């Protein structure tokens, strides 16, 4: 069956009595007509909203049924806006349980938009090319999305998928989908058609919104699809969908802050991706932490470099809005355009992976910025060379570490006052460590196989474990995987680190990336950092390869800077000059590195290539 797509061919406005007709054709592209619908769940215009409002059974995250009351308008005024028979909007209605607890409100990042639209209604909230959207307009569009989803038959707990780049529709999804009581599933835009189909099936999505450039990824799906043309015109199917909704406040009441707000799929570097469940509470707390840690202010402007599909953009769609700051959207990461926007939009903040900023700082347009720009960097350990280069261009680095399972950042490398007096290279090395737990996290630990803390000597290696407010609720529909990840009451990251005497952790490897050579454990990250200090090297990755004598030996895959030259033996000798000789790679291969869309090097591809058809990666 081909995809059912909402395609623009008319202007559907709030208050229209016309019904959406969504059918299929051989191209999977479906015109909207004003005839009867073949799907009664979609046969609901704004005028029909009151008929949808009596209490009904709703599906929770695990298929359990519950009852929910009316959350929409009771009627429409002549201008098409909503009216409420009770005289109060949903935000003012309280259940008996809520009235009995005036000291508690369930935490949700949706409240951030409500406040900023109230306090800063005319302030620009979103910039996208020449388009400017105020906080008042931002909230109205979110209300339209939420109420239109409700009209389309989306119920609390349903999963709604978005497949789109960093555009305004993705920002609106972070508020509109949960405001409808549904769960947002933001999908990696660089996945294959098979991977996208797997995620849609695994999460049980009821509906998917897809950017016009990505619709081919949905070939073969039988889900309802709304295409996003990203034009803001009446012909845009997404805009037509919004017009079915109301600009009046629409928000399904949240009964439990531990309800799931989103499902984010892991990058799949070790197999099929798993759905990581975030809660309203976790998203709320993590967003406030990000705002404080990055020093976001109402006058701030964040350039959207990190994908919003990755850990909900590290919770920054909510964090930026919380302080009434400005979102600067970016469809594609183009280093030249990044520099243009840094200057023209007076950008103050940005986030991303080291590999992305390597492209930025080495671009021909790179120049020292007149004002300091805060960049939160994570996703992989940055090299000291990159950190030093970024600081020289007036970027203030906030180095963080975390995983999809921890709402992204869990630690921060808090700079010490004494580090300012150190030589640049030594200071960059210290800033390259993963650091300490952030302000909402429990203290991070590095443990051995018995769950005992390793000595804080900077030498003993163990696994990084975490717990607390910004650890996932679990893997969606995977209780066994959840139990394994939470063994011993802590989340097991699979990352190998040391604990330094000052309490800062430093990653040494993933468990599977340790090279065991002649009985010695060799950290591939240590080798990578050393190689990146070579003046001709842009980036590199090191993996274990089989060796007949030593069992395993490290091999380096190196990308050189533009116009530079280096020979294999030159890199090996450079390593021998800075490392113990047994840690130096046996071989060096030059070329680009395989990466995920979030900038993580896919070492498993390199490893598979080297180990061939062997049953296991142990020699």
Report the distance separating Cα 534 and Cα 23, nearest Å. 59
| b/e map 294-324, b = 16+ CB within 10 Å | bebeeebbbbbbbbbbbbbbbbbbbbbbbbb
What is the pLDDT at residue 209? Answer: 98
Contact 498, 439 (CB under 8 A): no
Q: How many residues does the chain have?
A: 619
Is there a shared CATH topology between the 4-106+133-249+259-274 domain and the 333-511 domain? Answer: yes
Kindly tell me the burial class for residue 467, based on how many C-beta atoms sit within 10 Å of its own C-beta (0-12, 13-18, 19 or more): middle
pLDDT score, position 80: 41
pLDDT at site 391: 86
Angle formed by the axes of helices 168-179 and 110-119, nearest 10°: 110
The DSSP element (H or E) to which 469 belongs, if any, is none
Enter the tokens of residue 193.
């058609």
Q: How many Cα atoms are found within 13 Å in the side-chain-facing hemisphere of 248?
A: 22
Distance CA 582, CA 530 (A): 14
Mean pLDDT per block of 10 residues along the chain (619 residues) reads 47 36 31 31 34 33 37 40 41 70 93 98 97 98 98 97 98 98 94 89 97 95 96 97 97 95 79 89 98 97 95 97 98 96 97 87 94 88 78 92 94 93 85 93 96 96 95 97 96 94 89 70 84 93 87 92 93 91 92 82 87 61
**What are the tokens at 474?**
């679990």
Q: What one-character DSSP code corresponds to residue 406?
A: G
> Which tokens in the block code for residue 346?
């007076």
Which CATH number describes the domain made up of 514-611? Answer: 3.30.300.30
Residue whose entry in the numeric block shows the structure tokens 């590999």: 355
In three state form, how does the secondary structure of 67-107 look? Answer: EECCCCCCEECCCCCEECCCCCCHHHCCCHHHHCCCCCCCC
d(CA 270, CA 605): 10
159-163 and 183-186 strand pairing? parallel
Pairwise CA distance, residues 496 & 507, whole Å: 6
Q: Which pLDDT score, from 0 to 100, does residue 491 have?
A: 98
Three-state SS at 315? coil
Distance CA 609, CA 545 (A): 10
What SS3 class is residue 35? coil
Residue 343 buriedness (CB in 10 A; 0-12 / 13-18 / 19+): middle
Fold of 333-511: Rossmann fold (3.40.50)
Relative to beta strand 301-303, strand 260-265 is unpaired
Dihedral (CA of 26, 30, 34, 35) sign: positive
Joined tokens for residue 72 = 């929409």
4-106+133-249+259-274 fold: Rossmann fold (3.40.50)
The structure tokens listed for 70 are: 């009316």
CB atoms within 10 A of CB 550: 16
pTM of the model: 0.76
Beta pairing class for 82-83 and 124-128: unpaired
Closest CA to 243 of 141, 94, 367: 141
Name the residue ranges covered by the structural domains of the chain: 4-106+133-249+259-274, 333-511, 514-611
For residue 335, give every residue at least 6 positions away whose Cβ sits within 8 Å of its Cβ, in sequence order, or none.
359, 360, 363, 365
**Side-chain-facing half-sphere of 528: CA atoms under 13 Å:** 27
What does residue 402 show for φ and ψ, rounded to 5 degrees?
A: 180, -170
Return all residues near 216 (Cβ < 8 A) that are at least 6 apart.
193
The C-alpha atoms of residue 102 and residue 104 are separated, in whole angstroms, by 6
């Amino acid at each position: 069956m081909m995809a059912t797509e909402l395609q623009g061919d008319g202007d559907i406005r709030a208050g229209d009595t016309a019904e959406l007709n969504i059918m299929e054709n051989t191209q999977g592209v479906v015109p909207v007509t004003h005839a009867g619908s073949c799907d009664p769940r979609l046969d609901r215009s704004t005028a029909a909203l009151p008929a949808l409002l009596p209490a009904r059974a709703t599906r929770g995250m695990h298929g359990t049924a519950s009852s929910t009351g009316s959350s929409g308008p009771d009627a429409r005024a002549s201008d098409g806006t909503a009216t409420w028979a009770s005289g109060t909007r949903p935000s003012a209605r309280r259940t008996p349980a809520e009235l009995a607890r005036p000291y508690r409100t369930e935490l949700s990042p949706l409240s951030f938009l409500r406040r900023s639209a109230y306090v800063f209604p005319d302030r620009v909230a979103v910039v996208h090319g020449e388009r400017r959207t105020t906080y008042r307009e931002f909230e109205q569009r979110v209300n339209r999305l939420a109420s239109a989803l409700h009209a389309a038959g989306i119920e609390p707990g349903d999963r709604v998928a978005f497949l789109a780049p960093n555009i305004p529709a993705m920002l609106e999804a972070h508020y509109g989908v949960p405001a409808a009581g549904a769960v947002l599933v933001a999908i990696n835009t660089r996945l294959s058609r098979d991977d996208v189909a797997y995620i849609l099936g695994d999460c049980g999505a009821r509906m998917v919104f897809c950017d016009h450039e990505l619709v081919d990824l949905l070939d073969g799906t039988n889900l309802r699809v709304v295409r996003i043309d990203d034009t803001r015109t009446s012909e845009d199917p997404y805009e037509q969908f919004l017009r079915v909704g109301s600009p009046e406040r629409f928000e399904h009441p949240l009964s439990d802050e531990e309800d799931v707000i989103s499902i984010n799929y892991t990058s799949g570097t070790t197999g099929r991706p798993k759905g990581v469940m975030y809660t309203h509470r976790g998203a709320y707390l993590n967003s406030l932490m990000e705002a404080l840690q990055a020093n976001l202010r109402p006058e701030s402007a964040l350039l959207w470099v990190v994908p919003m599909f990755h850990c909900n953009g590290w919770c920054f769609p909510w964090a930026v809005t919380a302080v009434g700051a400005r979102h600067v959207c970016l469809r594609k990461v183009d280093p030249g355009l990044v520099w243009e926007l840094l200057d023209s939009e007076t950008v103050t903040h940005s986030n991303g992976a080291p590999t992305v900023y390597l492209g930025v700082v080495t671009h021909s347009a790179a120049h020292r910025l007149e004002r300091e720009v805060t960049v939160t960097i994570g996703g992989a350990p940055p090299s000291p060379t990159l950190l030093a280069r970024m600081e020289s261009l007036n970027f203030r680095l906030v180095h963080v570490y975390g995983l999809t399972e921890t709402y992204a950042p869990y630690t921060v490398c808090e700079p010490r006052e004494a580090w300012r007096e150190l030589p640049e290279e030594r200071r960059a090395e210290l800033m390259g460590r993963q650091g300490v737990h952030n302000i909402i996290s429990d203290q991070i630990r590095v443990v051995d196989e018995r769950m005992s803390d390793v000595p804080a000597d900077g030498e003993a290696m163990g696994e990084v474990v975490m717990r607390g407010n910004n650890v996932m609720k679990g893997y969606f529909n995977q209780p066994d995987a959840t139990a394994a990840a939470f063994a011993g009451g802590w989340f097991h990251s699979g990352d190998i680190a040391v604990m330094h005497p000052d309490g800062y952790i430093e990653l040494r490897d993933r468990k599977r990336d340790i090279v065991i050579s002649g009985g010695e454990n060799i950290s591939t990250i240590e080798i990578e950092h050393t190689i990146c200090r070579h003046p001709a090297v842009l980036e590199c990755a090191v993996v274990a390869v089989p060796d007949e004598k030593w069992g395993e030996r490290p091999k380096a895959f190196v990308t050189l800077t533009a116009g530079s030259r280096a020979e294999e033996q030159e890199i090996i000798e450079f390593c021998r000059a800075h490392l113990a000789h047994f840690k130096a790679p046996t071989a060096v291969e030059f070329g680009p590195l395989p990466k995920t869309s979030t900038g993580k090097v896919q070492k498993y591809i390199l490893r598979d290539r080297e180990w061939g058809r062997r049953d296991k990666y142990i020699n």
